[in-house]
Protein backbone atom coordinates (compact mmCIF):
# COMPACT_ATOMS: atom_id res chain seq x y z
CA UNK A 1 0.00 0.00 0.00
CA UNK A 2 1.14 3.55 -0.70
CA UNK A 3 1.09 5.88 2.29
CA UNK A 4 -0.89 9.09 1.68
CA UNK A 5 1.55 12.06 1.61
CA UNK A 6 1.38 14.13 4.79
CA UNK A 7 1.05 17.90 4.94
CA UNK A 8 3.14 19.60 7.62
CA UNK A 9 1.57 20.85 10.84
CA UNK A 10 -0.13 19.36 13.90
CA UNK A 11 -3.48 20.85 13.00
CA UNK A 12 -4.07 22.88 9.89
CA UNK A 13 -7.44 24.46 10.72
CA UNK A 14 -5.90 27.91 11.19
CA UNK A 15 -3.85 27.55 8.03
CA UNK A 16 -7.04 26.69 6.13
CA UNK A 17 -8.79 29.77 7.49
CA UNK A 18 -5.75 31.94 6.69
CA UNK A 19 -5.02 30.55 3.23
CA UNK A 20 -8.56 30.05 1.98
CA UNK A 21 -8.80 28.92 -1.64
CA UNK A 22 -5.03 28.33 -1.72
CA UNK A 23 -4.96 25.89 1.19
CA UNK A 24 -5.46 22.59 -0.68
CA UNK A 25 -3.96 23.58 -4.09
CA UNK A 26 -0.72 24.90 -2.57
CA UNK A 27 -0.16 21.72 -0.53
CA UNK A 28 -0.95 19.56 -3.56
CA UNK A 29 1.70 21.47 -5.46
CA UNK A 30 4.28 21.21 -2.70
CA UNK A 31 3.69 17.48 -2.15
CA UNK A 32 3.25 16.85 -5.91
CA UNK A 33 0.16 14.83 -5.14
CA UNK A 34 -3.58 15.18 -5.73
CA UNK A 35 -4.15 13.55 -2.37
CA UNK A 36 -2.64 14.32 1.02
CA UNK A 37 -3.36 13.85 4.69
CA UNK A 38 -3.57 16.55 7.31
CA UNK A 39 -5.43 17.38 10.52
CA UNK A 40 -8.43 19.70 10.46
CA UNK A 41 -10.70 20.53 13.42
CA UNK A 42 -8.77 18.12 15.61
CA UNK A 43 -9.15 15.10 13.36
CA UNK A 44 -7.31 13.42 10.52
CA UNK A 45 -8.54 14.55 7.13
CA UNK A 46 -7.64 13.40 3.64
CA UNK A 47 -7.78 16.21 1.07
CA UNK A 48 -8.04 15.35 -2.59
CA UNK A 49 -8.70 16.91 -5.99
CA UNK A 50 -9.33 16.03 -9.61
CA UNK A 51 -11.89 14.17 -11.70
CA UNK A 52 -11.08 10.71 -10.39
CA UNK A 53 -11.08 11.86 -6.77
CA UNK A 54 -14.44 13.59 -7.32
CA UNK A 55 -15.90 10.40 -8.80
CA UNK A 56 -14.87 8.57 -5.62
CA UNK A 57 -16.13 11.35 -3.33
CA UNK A 58 -19.60 11.29 -4.93
CA UNK A 59 -19.90 7.48 -4.81
CA UNK A 60 -22.52 6.73 -2.13
CA UNK A 61 -20.97 3.29 -1.65
CA UNK A 62 -17.91 4.84 -0.05
CA UNK A 63 -18.97 8.14 1.50
CA UNK A 64 -21.61 9.57 3.79
CA UNK A 65 -22.38 13.08 4.98
CA UNK A 66 -23.57 12.42 8.52
CA UNK A 67 -21.31 14.33 10.92
CA UNK A 68 -19.11 15.70 8.11
CA UNK A 69 -20.05 19.39 8.04
CA UNK A 70 -18.49 21.48 10.84
CA UNK A 71 -21.00 22.63 13.45
CA UNK A 72 -20.52 26.39 12.83
CA UNK A 73 -21.42 25.89 9.18
CA UNK A 74 -24.77 24.43 10.21
CA UNK A 75 -25.53 27.25 12.60
CA UNK A 76 -24.93 29.93 9.99
CA UNK A 77 -24.88 28.85 6.37
CA UNK A 78 -26.72 25.55 6.03
CA UNK A 79 -29.12 25.12 8.93
CA UNK A 80 -29.20 22.29 11.45
CA UNK A 81 -30.58 18.96 10.24
CA UNK A 82 -30.48 20.12 6.63
CA UNK A 83 -30.36 17.98 3.48
CA UNK A 84 -26.61 18.53 3.14
CA UNK A 85 -25.92 16.18 6.04
CA UNK A 86 -28.37 13.40 5.17
CA UNK A 87 -27.64 10.01 3.65
CA UNK A 88 -29.30 7.13 1.84
CA UNK A 89 -33.06 6.98 1.29
CA UNK A 90 -33.57 9.77 3.82
CA UNK A 91 -31.49 12.05 1.59
CA UNK A 92 -32.98 10.89 -1.72
CA UNK A 93 -36.51 11.41 -0.47
CA UNK A 94 -35.81 14.99 0.52
CA UNK A 95 -33.78 15.61 -2.63
CA UNK A 96 -36.79 14.62 -4.74
CA UNK A 97 -38.74 17.27 -2.85
CA UNK A 98 -36.18 19.93 -3.82
CA UNK A 99 -35.94 18.83 -7.43
CA UNK A 100 -39.74 18.81 -7.75
CA UNK A 101 -39.52 22.59 -7.36
CA UNK A 102 -37.18 22.88 -10.33
CA UNK A 103 -39.54 22.16 -13.22
CA UNK A 104 -38.85 23.98 -16.52
CA UNK A 105 -41.84 26.26 -15.82
CA UNK A 106 -40.56 27.16 -12.37
CA UNK A 107 -37.06 27.80 -13.68
CA UNK A 108 -38.56 30.14 -16.28
CA UNK A 109 -40.52 31.80 -13.45
CA UNK A 110 -37.31 32.40 -11.53
CA UNK A 111 -35.60 33.86 -14.57
CA UNK A 112 -38.51 36.21 -15.20
CA UNK A 113 -38.84 37.27 -11.55
CA UNK A 114 -35.09 37.83 -11.14
CA UNK A 115 -34.79 39.94 -14.29
CA UNK A 116 -37.88 41.92 -13.21
CA UNK A 117 -36.25 42.67 -9.84
CA UNK A 118 -33.04 43.60 -11.65
CA UNK A 119 -34.87 45.95 -14.00
CA UNK A 120 -36.65 47.65 -11.06
CA UNK A 121 -33.32 48.27 -9.38
CA UNK A 122 -31.82 49.71 -12.56
CA UNK A 123 -34.55 52.35 -12.55
CA UNK A 124 -33.42 53.34 -9.03
CA UNK A 125 -29.76 53.30 -10.05
CA UNK A 126 -30.36 55.83 -12.82
CA UNK A 127 -30.99 58.44 -10.14
CA UNK A 128 -27.78 57.63 -8.25
CA UNK A 129 -24.19 58.60 -8.80
CA UNK A 130 -22.85 55.10 -8.28
CA UNK A 131 -23.78 51.75 -6.75
CA UNK A 132 -21.90 48.75 -5.34
CA UNK A 133 -22.94 45.97 -7.69
CA UNK A 134 -22.41 43.11 -5.22
CA UNK A 135 -24.65 44.68 -2.55
CA UNK A 136 -27.34 45.44 -5.14
CA UNK A 137 -27.18 41.96 -6.68
CA UNK A 138 -27.49 40.35 -3.26
CA UNK A 139 -30.67 42.31 -2.63
CA UNK A 140 -32.03 41.54 -6.11
CA UNK A 141 -31.38 37.80 -5.66
CA UNK A 142 -32.80 37.83 -2.14
CA UNK A 143 -35.99 39.53 -3.25
CA UNK A 144 -36.31 37.28 -6.31
CA UNK A 145 -35.72 34.13 -4.26
CA UNK A 146 -38.34 34.99 -1.65
CA UNK A 147 -40.91 35.91 -4.30
CA UNK A 148 -40.24 32.74 -6.27
CA UNK A 149 -40.55 30.62 -3.12
CA UNK A 150 -44.03 32.01 -2.49
CA UNK A 151 -43.27 33.85 0.75
CA UNK A 152 -45.55 36.67 1.90
CA UNK A 153 -42.91 39.41 1.98
CA UNK A 154 -44.08 42.92 2.77
CA UNK A 155 -42.21 45.67 0.94
CA UNK A 156 -41.38 47.20 4.33
CA UNK A 157 -39.41 44.10 5.37
CA UNK A 158 -38.06 42.83 2.02
CA UNK A 159 -34.73 44.59 2.24
CA UNK A 160 -34.07 43.42 5.78
CA UNK A 161 -35.01 39.81 4.99
CA UNK A 162 -32.76 39.90 1.92
CA UNK A 163 -29.96 41.25 4.11
CA UNK A 164 -30.35 38.24 6.42
CA UNK A 165 -29.84 35.93 3.45
CA UNK A 166 -26.68 37.79 2.42
CA UNK A 167 -25.30 37.48 5.94
CA UNK A 168 -25.88 33.73 5.96
CA UNK A 169 -24.13 33.33 2.61
CA UNK A 170 -21.19 35.51 3.70
CA UNK A 171 -20.80 33.61 7.00
CA UNK A 172 -18.54 30.71 6.04
CA UNK A 173 -14.76 30.85 5.86
CA UNK A 174 -13.61 31.46 9.39
CA UNK A 175 -14.18 35.06 10.48
CA UNK A 176 -15.81 35.01 13.92
CA UNK A 177 -17.63 38.26 13.29
CA UNK A 178 -19.18 37.11 10.02
CA UNK A 179 -20.08 33.79 11.63
CA UNK A 180 -21.93 35.59 14.43
CA UNK A 181 -23.80 37.78 11.96
CA UNK A 182 -24.72 34.72 9.91
CA UNK A 183 -25.91 32.81 12.95
CA UNK A 184 -28.12 35.65 14.17
CA UNK A 185 -29.49 36.26 10.68
CA UNK A 186 -30.37 32.56 10.44
CA UNK A 187 -32.13 32.56 13.82
CA UNK A 188 -34.25 35.55 12.86
CA UNK A 189 -35.01 34.25 9.37
CA UNK A 190 -35.93 30.75 10.59
CA UNK A 191 -38.33 32.20 13.14
CA UNK A 192 -40.08 34.13 10.37
CA UNK A 193 -40.28 31.00 8.19
CA UNK A 194 -41.64 28.86 11.02
CA UNK A 195 -44.55 31.28 11.41
CA UNK A 196 -45.24 31.16 7.66
CA UNK A 197 -45.17 27.35 7.62
CA UNK A 198 -47.54 27.25 10.59
CA UNK A 199 -49.91 29.58 8.75
CA UNK A 200 -49.79 27.44 5.61
CA UNK A 201 -50.51 24.29 7.59
CA UNK A 202 -53.39 26.02 9.35
CA UNK A 203 -54.86 27.24 6.05
CA UNK A 204 -54.30 30.89 6.98
CA UNK A 205 -51.86 31.50 4.18
CA UNK A 206 -52.32 29.80 0.83
CA UNK A 207 -49.43 30.07 -1.62
CA UNK A 208 -49.81 28.25 -4.97
CA UNK A 209 -49.13 24.51 -4.86
CA UNK A 210 -46.07 24.79 -7.13
CA UNK A 211 -44.16 27.09 -4.76
CA UNK A 212 -41.37 26.02 -2.42
CA UNK A 213 -43.38 27.37 0.55
CA UNK A 214 -46.33 25.07 -0.23
CA UNK A 215 -44.16 22.08 -1.15
CA UNK A 216 -42.03 22.19 2.02
CA UNK A 217 -44.92 22.97 4.38
CA UNK A 218 -46.87 19.97 3.08
CA UNK A 219 -44.00 17.56 2.47
CA UNK A 220 -44.33 14.24 4.27
CA UNK A 221 -41.46 12.02 5.34
CA UNK A 222 -41.52 8.27 4.60
CA UNK A 223 -43.17 7.74 8.01
CA UNK A 224 -46.13 9.82 6.83
CA UNK A 225 -45.39 12.77 9.10
CA UNK A 226 -44.92 16.40 8.15
CA UNK A 227 -41.41 17.76 8.60
CA UNK A 228 -40.98 19.13 12.13
CA UNK A 229 -41.37 22.91 12.12
CA UNK A 230 -37.70 23.75 12.50
CA UNK A 231 -36.52 21.34 9.81
CA UNK A 232 -39.22 22.66 7.49
CA UNK A 233 -37.93 26.21 8.05
CA UNK A 234 -34.35 25.08 7.38
CA UNK A 235 -35.27 23.33 4.13
CA UNK A 236 -37.58 26.09 2.94
CA UNK A 237 -34.66 28.45 3.40
CA UNK A 238 -32.40 26.03 1.48
CA UNK A 239 -34.74 26.30 -1.48
CA UNK A 240 -34.04 30.00 -2.18
CA UNK A 241 -31.25 31.36 0.09
CA UNK A 242 -28.45 29.95 -2.10
CA UNK A 243 -29.69 32.08 -5.00
CA UNK A 244 -27.94 34.93 -3.21
CA UNK A 245 -24.65 33.17 -3.95
CA UNK A 246 -25.35 33.79 -7.63
CA UNK A 247 -24.79 37.50 -6.89
CA UNK A 248 -21.08 36.72 -6.52
CA UNK A 249 -20.98 35.05 -9.93
CA UNK A 250 -22.78 38.02 -11.52
CA UNK A 251 -20.17 40.35 -10.06
CA UNK A 252 -17.35 38.12 -11.28
CA UNK A 253 -19.08 38.20 -14.68
CA UNK A 254 -19.01 42.00 -14.61
CA UNK A 255 -15.32 41.80 -13.70
CA UNK A 256 -14.63 39.38 -16.58
CA UNK A 257 -16.43 41.72 -19.02
CA UNK A 258 -14.31 44.59 -17.75
CA UNK A 259 -11.02 42.70 -17.96
CA UNK A 260 -11.80 40.93 -21.25
CA UNK A 261 -13.56 43.62 -23.24
CA UNK A 262 -14.06 41.35 -26.26
CA UNK A 263 -16.55 39.28 -24.23
CA UNK A 264 -19.05 42.17 -24.24
CA UNK A 265 -19.57 42.12 -28.01
CA UNK A 266 -19.72 38.34 -27.93
CA UNK A 267 -22.38 38.42 -25.21
CA UNK A 268 -24.37 40.94 -27.26
CA UNK A 269 -24.23 38.75 -30.33
CA UNK A 270 -24.73 35.53 -28.31
CA UNK A 271 -23.71 33.34 -31.25
CA UNK A 272 -23.63 29.58 -30.47
CA UNK A 273 -25.12 30.33 -27.07
CA UNK A 274 -22.02 32.28 -26.01
CA UNK A 275 -23.76 33.54 -22.85
CA UNK A 276 -23.96 29.92 -21.71
CA UNK A 277 -20.24 29.30 -22.32
CA UNK A 278 -19.43 32.58 -20.57
CA UNK A 279 -21.55 31.63 -17.54
CA UNK A 280 -19.93 28.20 -17.33
CA UNK A 281 -16.46 29.70 -17.48
CA UNK A 282 -17.37 32.17 -14.73
CA UNK A 283 -18.41 29.23 -12.56
CA UNK A 284 -15.22 27.30 -13.40
CA UNK A 285 -12.66 30.07 -13.18
CA UNK A 286 -13.75 32.26 -10.26
CA UNK A 287 -13.64 31.04 -6.66
CA UNK A 288 -16.83 30.59 -4.68
CA UNK A 289 -17.32 27.19 -2.98
CA UNK A 290 -13.84 26.02 -1.93
CA UNK A 291 -14.40 22.41 -0.88
CA UNK A 292 -16.87 19.82 0.48
CA UNK A 293 -16.42 17.38 3.33
CA UNK A 294 -17.68 13.79 3.71
CA UNK A 295 -16.83 10.77 5.85
CA UNK A 296 -15.73 7.30 4.72
CA UNK A 297 -18.58 4.81 5.14
CA UNK A 298 -16.23 1.86 5.61
CA UNK A 299 -12.59 0.78 5.35
CA UNK A 300 -11.49 0.58 1.73
CA UNK A 301 -8.49 0.94 -0.55
CA UNK A 302 -8.48 3.27 -3.54
CA UNK A 303 -5.57 3.58 -5.96
CA UNK A 304 -3.44 1.91 -3.32
CA UNK A 305 -4.42 4.42 -0.61
CA UNK A 306 -6.09 3.13 2.53
CA UNK A 307 -9.19 4.92 3.79
CA UNK A 308 -10.53 4.22 7.28
CA UNK A 309 -14.20 4.10 8.27
CA UNK A 310 -15.44 7.51 9.57
CA UNK A 311 -12.35 9.22 8.29
CA UNK A 312 -12.90 12.83 7.16
CA UNK A 313 -12.33 13.45 3.45
CA UNK A 314 -12.33 16.86 1.80
CA UNK A 315 -12.77 17.37 -1.93
CA UNK A 316 -11.11 20.45 -3.41
CA UNK A 317 -13.88 21.84 -5.63
CA UNK A 318 -12.03 24.96 -6.71
CA UNK A 319 -8.83 23.01 -7.45
CA UNK A 320 -10.76 20.40 -9.45
CA UNK A 321 -12.24 23.13 -11.66
CA UNK A 322 -8.70 24.32 -12.33
CA UNK A 323 -7.07 20.89 -12.71
CA UNK A 324 -4.57 20.71 -15.59
CA UNK A 325 -5.53 17.09 -16.39
CA UNK A 326 -8.94 18.27 -17.54
CA UNK A 327 -8.49 21.86 -18.58
CA UNK A 328 -6.02 23.31 -21.07
CA UNK A 329 -4.56 26.55 -19.72
CA UNK A 330 -6.64 25.94 -16.63
CA UNK A 331 -5.69 29.26 -15.05
CA UNK A 332 -6.83 31.29 -18.04
CA UNK A 333 -10.35 32.66 -18.56
CA UNK A 334 -11.51 31.15 -21.90
CA UNK A 335 -15.31 30.80 -22.31
CA UNK A 336 -14.92 29.08 -25.70
CA UNK A 337 -13.45 26.02 -24.00
CA UNK A 338 -17.04 25.02 -23.26
CA UNK A 339 -17.92 24.79 -26.98
CA UNK A 340 -16.51 21.26 -27.17
CA UNK A 341 -16.50 20.24 -23.57
CA UNK A 342 -17.01 16.56 -22.73
CA UNK A 343 -19.49 17.28 -19.95
CA UNK A 344 -17.86 15.15 -17.25
CA UNK A 345 -19.95 15.33 -14.04
CA UNK A 346 -16.72 15.13 -12.00
CA UNK A 347 -14.26 17.52 -13.68
CA UNK A 348 -16.42 20.65 -13.40
CA UNK A 349 -17.79 20.88 -9.87
CA UNK A 350 -18.47 24.50 -8.83
CA UNK A 351 -21.75 23.30 -7.31
CA UNK A 352 -20.70 19.77 -6.46
CA UNK A 353 -20.37 16.75 -8.75
CA UNK A 354 -22.09 13.52 -9.73
CA UNK A 355 -25.83 13.16 -10.12
CA UNK A 356 -28.41 15.69 -8.96
CA UNK A 357 -30.99 13.07 -7.95
CA UNK A 358 -29.00 10.38 -6.17
CA UNK A 359 -26.13 12.47 -4.85
CA UNK A 360 -25.53 15.80 -3.14
CA UNK A 361 -24.94 17.82 -6.30
CA UNK A 362 -26.53 21.27 -5.99
CA UNK A 363 -30.29 21.36 -6.53
CA UNK A 364 -30.03 24.92 -7.79
CA UNK A 365 -27.45 24.43 -10.51
CA UNK A 366 -29.81 24.78 -13.50
CA UNK A 367 -31.41 27.81 -11.94
CA UNK A 368 -28.03 29.41 -11.27
CA UNK A 369 -26.92 29.06 -14.88
CA UNK A 370 -30.24 30.30 -16.27
CA UNK A 371 -30.24 33.39 -14.07
CA UNK A 372 -26.58 34.12 -14.86
CA UNK A 373 -27.18 33.91 -18.60
CA UNK A 374 -30.26 36.13 -18.40
CA UNK A 375 -28.40 38.73 -16.31
CA UNK A 376 -25.36 38.83 -18.58
CA UNK A 377 -27.69 39.29 -21.54
CA UNK A 378 -29.53 42.08 -19.73
CA UNK A 379 -26.26 43.76 -18.77
CA UNK A 380 -25.04 43.82 -22.36
CA UNK A 381 -28.36 44.58 -24.10
CA UNK A 382 -30.35 46.78 -21.74
CA UNK A 383 -27.75 48.64 -19.76
CA UNK A 384 -24.73 50.91 -20.04
CA UNK A 385 -22.52 51.82 -17.12
CA UNK A 386 -19.07 53.09 -16.31
CA UNK A 387 -16.50 51.30 -14.14
CA UNK A 388 -14.62 54.00 -12.21
CA UNK A 389 -11.10 53.60 -10.78
CA UNK A 390 -11.28 51.22 -7.79
CA UNK A 391 -9.63 48.19 -6.21
CA UNK A 392 -10.94 45.19 -8.14
CA UNK A 393 -8.49 42.65 -6.71
CA UNK A 394 -10.09 39.71 -4.92
CA UNK A 395 -8.44 38.10 -1.93
CA UNK A 396 -8.01 34.34 -2.40
CA UNK A 397 -7.65 33.97 1.37
CA UNK A 398 -11.20 35.18 2.02
CA UNK A 399 -14.07 32.71 1.65
CA UNK A 400 -16.33 33.72 -0.01
CA UNK A 401 -14.32 36.26 -1.94
CA UNK A 402 -15.25 39.21 -4.16
CA UNK A 403 -13.56 42.24 -5.74
CA UNK A 404 -12.39 44.43 -2.84
CA UNK A 405 -14.61 47.35 -3.90
CA UNK A 406 -17.67 45.14 -4.38
CA UNK A 407 -17.55 46.35 -8.02
CA UNK A 408 -18.69 49.96 -8.16
CA UNK A 409 -20.48 51.13 -11.31
CA UNK A 410 -21.56 54.67 -12.19
CA UNK A 411 -23.35 56.63 -14.97
CA UNK A 412 -25.94 53.89 -15.23
CA UNK A 413 -28.46 54.16 -18.07
CA UNK A 414 -31.23 51.84 -19.13
CA UNK A 415 -31.11 51.48 -22.90
CA UNK A 416 -34.57 50.13 -23.46
CA UNK A 417 -37.74 49.58 -21.53
CA UNK A 418 -38.26 46.11 -20.15
CA UNK A 419 -39.29 43.57 -21.26
C1 LIG B 1 -25.82 21.99 -2.56
C2 LIG B 1 -23.04 25.44 -4.49
C3 LIG B 1 -26.98 27.87 -5.90
C4 LIG B 1 -29.72 24.71 -3.49
C5 LIG B 1 -24.74 22.71 -3.01
C6 LIG B 1 -23.36 22.31 -2.84
C7 LIG B 1 -22.60 23.28 -3.38
C8 LIG B 1 -23.47 24.29 -3.90
C9 LIG B 1 -21.07 23.30 -3.43
C10 LIG B 1 -22.91 21.07 -2.11
C11 LIG B 1 -22.58 19.94 -2.99
C12 LIG B 1 -22.25 18.74 -2.17
O13 LIG B 1 -22.79 18.57 -1.06
O14 LIG B 1 -21.43 17.91 -2.60
C15 LIG B 1 -23.87 26.42 -5.01
C16 LIG B 1 -23.42 27.62 -5.69
C17 LIG B 1 -24.53 28.30 -6.08
C18 LIG B 1 -25.68 27.53 -5.65
C19 LIG B 1 -21.96 27.99 -5.90
C20 LIG B 1 -24.66 29.60 -6.84
C21 LIG B 1 -23.71 30.48 -6.93
C22 LIG B 1 -28.06 27.20 -5.42
C23 LIG B 1 -29.43 27.59 -5.64
C24 LIG B 1 -30.20 26.70 -4.94
C25 LIG B 1 -29.32 25.74 -4.30
C26 LIG B 1 -29.86 28.75 -6.50
C27 LIG B 1 -31.69 26.63 -4.81
C28 LIG B 1 -32.53 27.49 -5.25
C29 LIG B 1 -28.90 23.72 -3.02
C30 LIG B 1 -29.35 22.58 -2.23
C31 LIG B 1 -28.21 21.79 -1.98
C32 LIG B 1 -27.10 22.47 -2.60
C33 LIG B 1 -30.77 22.31 -1.78
C34 LIG B 1 -28.17 20.50 -1.18
C35 LIG B 1 -28.20 19.32 -2.11
C36 LIG B 1 -28.02 18.01 -1.43
O37 LIG B 1 -27.45 17.94 -0.33
O38 LIG B 1 -28.47 17.00 -2.00
N39 LIG B 1 -24.77 23.92 -3.68
N40 LIG B 1 -25.23 26.41 -5.01
N41 LIG B 1 -28.03 26.09 -4.61
N42 LIG B 1 -27.55 23.61 -3.22
FE43 LIG B 1 -26.40 24.95 -4.20
Interface pTM (ipTM) of the complex?
0.97
Q: Which helix (H) or strand (E) holds 307?
A: strand 305-307
At 1 the pLDDT is 65
Residue 9's pLDDT is what? 86
Alpha-carbon torsion, ordered 231, 233, 239, 244, to 10 deg: -120
Mean pLDDT for 186-196 is: 98
Q: Are 119 and 136 in contact (CB under 8 A)?
A: no
- Report, as an integer, the average pLDDT of 62-86: 94
Whether ligand 1 lies within 6 angstroms of the CB of 240 is answered as yes
Would the CB of 98 count as within 6 Å of ligand 1? yes
What is the average pLDDT across 346-370?
98
pLDDT value of position 42: 87
pLDDT at 41 > cutoff 90? no
Q: Is 111 in the pocket of ligand 1 (CB under 6 A)?
A: no
- pLDDT for residue 2 is more than 80: no
Residue 183 or 419, more confident: 183
pLDDT at residue 349 is higher than 70: yes
pLDDT in tens, 196-233: 999 999 999 999 999 999 999 999 998 999 999 999 99
**Average pLDDT over every residue of 240-250:** 98
Please give the average per-residue pLDDT across 288-316, as a whole number: 97
pLDDT score recorded for residue 53: 98
Atom nearest to 240 CA in ligand 1? 28
Distances in whole angstroms, Cα of residue 362 to Cα of each of 80, 99, 214, 215, 242: 18, 10, 21, 18, 10
- Residue 306: CB atoms within 10 A of its CB come to 14
Q: Residue 175: name the closest of 44, 246, 76, 82 by CA.
A: 76
What mean pLDDT do residues 224-243 have? Answer: 98
- pLDDT at 417 (0 to 100): 80
At residue 173, does pLDDT exceed 90?
A: no
Q: Which fold has domain 13-414?
A: Cytochrome p450 (1.10.630)
Nearest to 44 by CA among 295, 381, 273: 295
Q: Is 86 in the pocket of ligand 1 (CB under 6 A)?
A: no
**Cα 243 to averaged position of ligand 1 atoms, centre (Å):** 9
Instruction: Tell me the pLDDT of the chain averaged across its residues.
Output: 96
Mean of pLDDT values over 307-330: 97
Confirm or reject: Cβ of 364 under 6 Å from ligand 1: yes
List, edge to edge, every strand of the sheet that includes 43-48: 35-40, 43-48, 312-316, 291-296, 63-64
What gap in Å lies between CA 141 and CA 162, rounded to an integer?
8
pLDDT of amino acid 69: 92
Q: Give me the residue spans of the domains in the chain.
A: 13-414
Instruction: Answer yes or no: is the C-beta of 246 below 6 A from any ligand 1 atom.
Output: yes
Measured in angstroms, how far is the CA atom of residue 5 from the centroid of ligand 1? 31
Which of 81, 353, 363, 400 to mutate to test ligand 1, by most ligand atoms within 8 A of the CB atom? 363
Peptide bond into 419 cis (omega under 30): yes
In sequence order, what DSSP letters do the residues of 121-138 get, joined into one string?
HHHHHTTSSEEEHHHHHH
What does the pLDDT average to over 231-239?
98
Task: Give the pLDDT of residue 178.
Answer: 94
User: Across 92-246, where does the E strand assignment appear?
Assistant: 130-132
Q: Does residue 286 line the site of ligand 1, with CB under 6 A?
A: no
Decide if 228 contacts 350 (C-beta within 8 A): no
Amino acid sequence: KTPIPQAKGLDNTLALIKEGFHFIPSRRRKLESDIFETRLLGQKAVCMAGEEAAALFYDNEYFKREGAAPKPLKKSLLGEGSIHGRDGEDHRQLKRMFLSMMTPERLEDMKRIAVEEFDKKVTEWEGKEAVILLREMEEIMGRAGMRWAGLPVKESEAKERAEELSQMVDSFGGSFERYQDGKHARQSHEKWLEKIIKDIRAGKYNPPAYTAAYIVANHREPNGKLLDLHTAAVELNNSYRPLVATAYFIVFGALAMYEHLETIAKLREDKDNYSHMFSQEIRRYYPFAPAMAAKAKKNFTWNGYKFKKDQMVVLDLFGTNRHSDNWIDADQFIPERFANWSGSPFAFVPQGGGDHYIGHRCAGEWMTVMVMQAFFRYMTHNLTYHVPEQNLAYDMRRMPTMPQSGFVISDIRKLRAFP
